[in-house]
A and B are shown apart, each in its own frame.
Chain A
Amino acid sequence: DAGVTQSPTHLIKTRGQQVTLRCSPKSGHDTVSWYQQALGQGPQFIFQYYEEEERQRGNFPDRFSGHQFPNYSSELNVNALLLGDSALYLCASSLQFRETQYFGPGTRLLVL
């Protein structure tokens, strides 16, 4: 039974570029949440997708957007990258939005 998978594992971009990160949820899960984790800090909630819709959103600008596909996988898009967007981006999945979230290994993004 595969857990949460994310791709790519590492990514280097320059300021102003755009990036797309991908997540496949744990088998049987239908809800995907995205978090940003800066070095030395706890994860910060970006947004959550359920039934292909953004259910709720954290305190992140509109440069951060997402999508959920019919197979429950999800993408996180970040436009106009800033140096401060450098972080570990984590995807978590759950069976419906009310249940325990299980995290993937993350994508390490470095913006130069």
Chain B
Amino acid sequence: GESVGLHLPTLSVQEGDNSIINCAYSNSASDYFIWYKQESGKGPQFIIDIRSNMDKRQGQRVTVLLNKTVKHLSLQIAATQPGDSAVYFCAENYPGGTSYGKLTFGQGTILTVHP
């Protein structure tokens, strides 16, 4: 079935360090991936997305890497700040039949940034 999982449930870093959050997905036919950040008591906030015809995409302080060979997705955050502390989710979309737009989420990684 379709599933998305994360390798590490928690990650603690020092302010200023670079952070890397990993995600494994199981459906090789998935063609669209999104990273969301969720702070306590709030809804998920869009960070960055990538389509399967790309292997890297950069945003402001964030980079998403996609390795389709091993079905792996990662989010890199440069110069991590205390405000980056949150739960990070990866989500995939599998374009099978009518399921486009149905996002499947992983369990999440808790990122804690220490001042």
Contact = CB atoms under 8 A, between A and B. Distances in A.
Contact-residue bracket for chain B:
20 to 34
Interface in B17-37: 34, 36
A102 B46 CA distance: 6
Interface string B31-48: 000101000001111100
Interface of B: 34, 36, 42-46, 49, 89, 91, 98-108
Question: What are the 8 A-B residue pairs with the smallest beta carbon separation, nearest first?
Answer: A42-B105, A97-B101, A103-B43, A103-B44, A105-B43, A106-B43, A45-B102, A43-B105
30 contacts: A4-B43, A31-B101, A33-B101, A33-B102, A41-B107, A41-B108, A42-B89, A42-B91, A42-B105, A42-B107, A43-B89, A43-B103, A45-B103, A48-B102, A55-B101, A56-B98, A56-B101, A90-B44, A94-B101, A97-B101, A100-B34, A100-B46, A100-B49, A101-B34, A101-B46, A101-B101, A103-B36, A103-B43, A105-B42, A105-B43
